[in-house]
Amino acid sequence: MGTTLVLGLGGTVDYEVRWDAEVIGALAVQYGIRRAELTTMAPIVDERSLVVTILAFVLDGAGGERFVESSEVVKQFADRFTTEITLGGTGVRAGIALDRLGIPSVQHLVSIDDHVRRLMPASISWVSSATGDTLDPHLIVQYPPGTVIRFDDGEIVSPSSNRLIFANDPPNRSMAIAPELGDALTEARAFLVSGFNTMQDEALLERRLTDLDAALEHLPADALVYYEDAGFYVRRFAERIWAHLLRRIDVYGMNEDELQEYVDRPVDLLDPADVAAALLAAHRLIPVPALLVHTQHWAIAVGPAAAGHRDAVASAVQMAATRFRLGDGFTASDFEATALLSRSARGEDVVEGVERMITGAAGVPAFRIDTATPTTIGLGDSFVGGFLVVHAPVPEPQP
């Protein structure tokens, strides 16, 4: 078995804005935005349409990721707020979570700049397909529960907290595969694949998947392949992923937003029967050994290999909860302390119900955490990092 964790496929530089409902409300008034025009599906071509989309998500208490016509829109909006520059991308944030526990990883990157060089933890090495420095930041908007935004024809109140991602990132849309990836995979215990969701050129996607197929030939047969869905900009592209990778994927992860897109209906996340029906429908569509769905209430895996991943799912839930309550700055002892917290009673009910209804299902309820400053950014990424903790190489004993 290999000795490394390889995480990919693309990293990002994130502009995390500090939420300010007054600034958002003032922009809504400035642009004459009306409640009736709020939608999450219209093209984002300028700052006005960006604000319309943010307000629509807040109204529903939903999270999501959307394409922006220009990175300048992202920069213009971020300049209005206190903004922290961080590193993102599923692989990078999963690697940062692993770093908090002293676990090293190898990243596959498609872009590089001084922010990446400065902020990447020392335990993380990388291979990169970038041929020069570029900066195309992702805007990360995290809003709290109960936030009130007032504008000309009324107000909206968020029913829950969530996070939004807006970006125009050419390197991640191109997703060039580094020639060195195959060599990196030779010693891999586990390989995380994510990021194809941002691609918009089907012919280019097909070429990148062919390149990835070639790299996967170097992966040990007993290595785990974890695929994180992450919400496709062009939903039908998921079928190209399945055509190339389903035969090799061991665990296929997604959140509740992606689950509901695949089953094409709302899912009551606190109704065990509705959840079970949705999980079975999604697994029929994506017949992998373990289909894993993670939500704010529970994480449940279904499929013939699901039960074998119970410890990894528990570690994943613990990692996401630790980030939720403490952000990026947690320690290994903070991670251990999370395990002592109480669980969501309603989440426990769903897990117990689904496990009764679906043979072999393996679920873990979320922790019950009360904090005035929740971190909703990167929870799914940290969840993946927590899952991979169980697959990390055991350090050699020191003489």
d(CA 197, CA 393): 29
pLDDT at 398: 42
Nearest Cα to Cα of residue 381 among 5, 4, 11, 1:
11
Name all contacts of 40-46 with Cβ < 8 Å and 24+ positions apart.
Answer: 40/64, 40/66, 43/69, 44/68, 44/69, 44/73, 44/166, 45/69, 45/73, 46/73
CATH number at residue 263: 3.40.1190.20
- Mapping DSSP to helix (H, G, I), strand (E, B) and coil, where does residue 16 land? strand
37 in the same domain as 101: no
177 in the same domain as 56: no
98 in the same domain as 194: yes
207 in the same domain as 265: yes
Could you tell me the two tokens for 156? Answer: 């909206």
* Angstrom distances, CA of residue 59 to CA of 17, 62, 241, 265: 19, 8, 32, 19
- Please tell me the total count of domains within the chain: 2
pLDDT at 384: 98
112 in the same domain as 44: no
d(CA 378, CA 294): 13
CATH number at residue 28: 3.30.1110.20
User: Which position has the token pair 């012919």?
Assistant: 203
Going residue by residue through the chain, which has 399 residues, state the pLDDT in tens, using 9 for 90 and above.
Answer: 677 999 999 999 999 999 999 999 999 999 999 999 999 999 999 999 999 999 999 999 998 888 899 889 999 999 999 999 999 999 999 999 999 999 999 999 999 999 999 999 999 999 999 999 998 999 999 999 999 999 888 889 999 888 899 988 999 999 999 999 999 999 999 999 999 988 889 999 999 999 999 999 999 999 999 999 987 878 889 999 999 999 999 999 999 989 999 999 999 999 999 999 999 999 999 999 999 999 999 999 999 999 999 999 999 999 999 999 998 889 999 999 999 999 999 999 999 999 999 999 999 999 999 887 778 778 999 999 999 999 998 765 444
Which residue(s) pair with 91 in the sheet? none
pLDDT at 110: 96
Burial of 268 (0-12, 13-18, 19+ CB in 10 A): exposed
Burial of 113 (0-12, 13-18, 19+ CB in 10 A): middle
The torsion region of residue 292 among left (phi > 0), alpha (psi -120 to 50) and beta comes to beta
Which residue(s) pair with 89 in the sheet? none
Could you tell me the two tokens for 274? Answer: 């509705």
Cα 285 vs. chain centroid, distance in angstroms? 21
pLDDT at 353: 98
SS (H, E, C) 75-114: HHHHCCCCEEEEEECHHHHHHHHHHHCCCCEEEEECCCCH
Whether 382 is covered by a domain: the verdict is yes
Whether 28 is covered by a domain: the verdict is yes
Could you tell me the two tokens for 126? Answer: 């990388």
pLDDT at 395: 60
d(CA 363, CA 353): 10
19 in the same domain as 8: no
Lateral strand order in the sheet of 298-302: 124-128, 105-109, 4-7, 188-193, 224-228, 251-255, 290-294, 298-302, 362-365
194 in the same domain as 62: no
Q: pTM here? A: 0.88
Domain span at residue 277 reads 4-12+89-134+170-389
Whether 395 is covered by a domain: the verdict is no
SS (H, E, C) 61-76: CCCEEEEECCHHHHHH
The tally of CA atoms less than 13 A away on the side-chain side of residue 95 is 34
